[in-house]
Amino acid sequence: MTSSSPPIPPARSSTPRRRVLIVDDNTELGDTLRAVVASGIPGIAIETAESGAAALVKAKKGFDVAIVDVKLPDVSGIDLITPLRAVSPFSEVLLLTGFASVDAAIGALRSGAFAFVLKSFRPEELISIVEQALTKVELKHERDELERRYRDLVEVTDVLVVALTGPDEVALMNRKAASLAGTTSDQALGRSLLESWIPPEDHAAMRAALATTRAQGRTAEVETGFVEARGARAGEGARDEASSAHPPARAKRIRWHLSPSRESGDLVYGIGIDVTERRALEKRAADAEALSAMGELAMNLAHEIRNPLNAAVLQLHLLTRNLDRIEADDATRGALKDRTRIVGDEIGRLNRLLTEFLELARPRGIAREPVHLPRLADEVLDLEEESAKGRGVTIVRDLPEDGCVAIGDREKLKQVTINLVVNALEAMKQGGTLTVRVRPDHERVRMTVEDTGPGIASELLPNVFDPFFTTKEAGTGLGLSIVRKIVDQHGGDVEIESERGQGAKVLVSIPIGR
């Protein structure tokens, strides 16, 4: 072998002792059979029985091949085949008879016998048949063992394994795939893979790949989303405490390798690798690159814009004051005031954009000081209390006094909290509840900011951390980018769980970083 891969061990590493059971009420013939088999097949273990009942008792000790006389005192050898094979499922039975009729032979084979041997056999003939039967038994064991290993492999592997018949009907789904799909291997059977777990935008690509695999009999690669079935968990029972502890549906990205089955016409096997993390990392790297490409130039530009902007604010201020002094009727004056207010608001927005942009683009290190996160969250909520009241939002503070201190940059972590709280408040136009929770979690502190606003549509969810992505009229789209940058700088994680109409929940976790 030239390949360096380790050799695959045989299915059964050592051949166990082979066992033959001879069932014949004629002890003389029984002894002859024993002698013939023992001499022809060295090392074989032989048991004998003189009746059907005795044979079944002995069979329980285990046997591979039984040689059974058709005429036994208590039962016909033919009727003994099924119970014997029930005791030892991979065994084979040879029937011995004195009559050589075609009907008898056919009857014996139909009843599941391996072969039909005439009592006038030649020794080598019997030995050859017994050996063939033993080989068959051996092969069945091997096949069973291989199947078991294959099943184990499919079950424990970290890749997704599915088999599809019909257009896309699930004929097999391994544990990994089922767990991502929010179902079980059994419950997945017979369901449409596309309708249940592949998002609509990826249907065409998946169908095309399946068609290629089937029509051309070759493998195909395709990448699709893979979403937990809607209501899968709710359907399994009430949304109790335990089930609501599960995060809601989150789309995964799966790279599928589809291959046709060699045995069955339309069966297609799909091996899927979860590339969600890889794609997310690639996207973050691309975002970071885009930001740094904006680099110096954009930063200088931002600084330069600030000065004239400040001058404009000042002039506007004077202008507004002077408006009171000009001679005009109230209506005219009012209209002019409205205009200056709008200009003022727009300048304010530009200023905010600049501040946030500079925060994001500035390559500054972070401080390392102990930060008591519950207290920090408390302060931020105090600051936002008024704004919340104005919107009819109730604030729930779940902020334990003990623990939850992380080493990090206080000001920056405060910025994170402000951005998240402001987003949550802005989302709740009709009032609602804002819950801020801080908890220790192993070597991390976890902060969640949850609102009861309209939530985020699943198709927008992957974009909310993109710089300049906003759905708000006066938004900058930089708030969450800043959050992620700061959390990254702390070696932490941030993610959003949300479904349209179900509010949003942002989870930030920061390493304690002793």
Residues that bind ligand ADP (CB under 6 A): 419, 423-424, 427, 451, 453, 455-456, 464, 469-472, 475-481, 504
Minimum CB distance to ligand ADP, residue 433 (Å): 12
Closest CB 455 distance from ligand ADP, rounded Å: 6
Is residue 376 a contact partner of residue 449, using CB atoms and an 8 Å limit? Answer: no
Around Cβ 293, how many Cβ atoms within 10 Å? 9
Closest approach, Cβ 412 to ligand ADP, in A, equals 16
Give the shortest CB-503-to-ligand ADP separation in angstroms: 7
- Of 401, 431, 409, 328, nearest in space to 365 by CA: 409
Q: For ligand ADP, give the closer residue by CB, 47 or 384.
A: 384
341-348: long-range contacts, CB 8 A cutoff, minimum separation 24: 343/316, 344/313, 344/316, 344/320, 347/309, 347/312, 347/313, 347/316
For ligand ADP, the closer CB: 107 or 475: 475
Which amino acid, 182?
Answer: G
Amino acid at the residue 230: R
Q: How far is the CB of 420 from ligand ADP (least distance, A)?
A: 8
Two structure tokens written together for 390: 């104005």
Instruction: Report whether 138 contacts 146 (CB < 8 A).
Output: no
CB nearer to ligand ADP: pick between 125 and 398: 398
Tell me the residue number closest to ligand ADP, measured at CB.
479
Lookup result for tokens 């936002």:
384
For residue 454, the minimal CB distance to ligand ADP (Å) is 6
Q: Is the distance from CB of 191 to CB of 169 less than 8 angstroms?
A: yes
Give whichever of 498 and 509 is closer to ligand ADP, judged by the CB atom: 498
Comparison of 452 and 509: residue with beta carbon closer to ligand ADP: 452
DSSP state of 201: G
* CA 67/CA 108 separation, integer angstroms: 13
Q: How many CA atoms lie within 13 A of 511 on its CB side?
A: 8
* Cβ nearer to ligand ADP, comparing 462 with 475: 475
Nearest residue to 504 (alpha-carbon basis) of 433, 443, 406: 433
213 vs 423 by CB, closer to ligand ADP: 423
Minimum CB separation of residue 461 from ligand ADP in Å reads 9
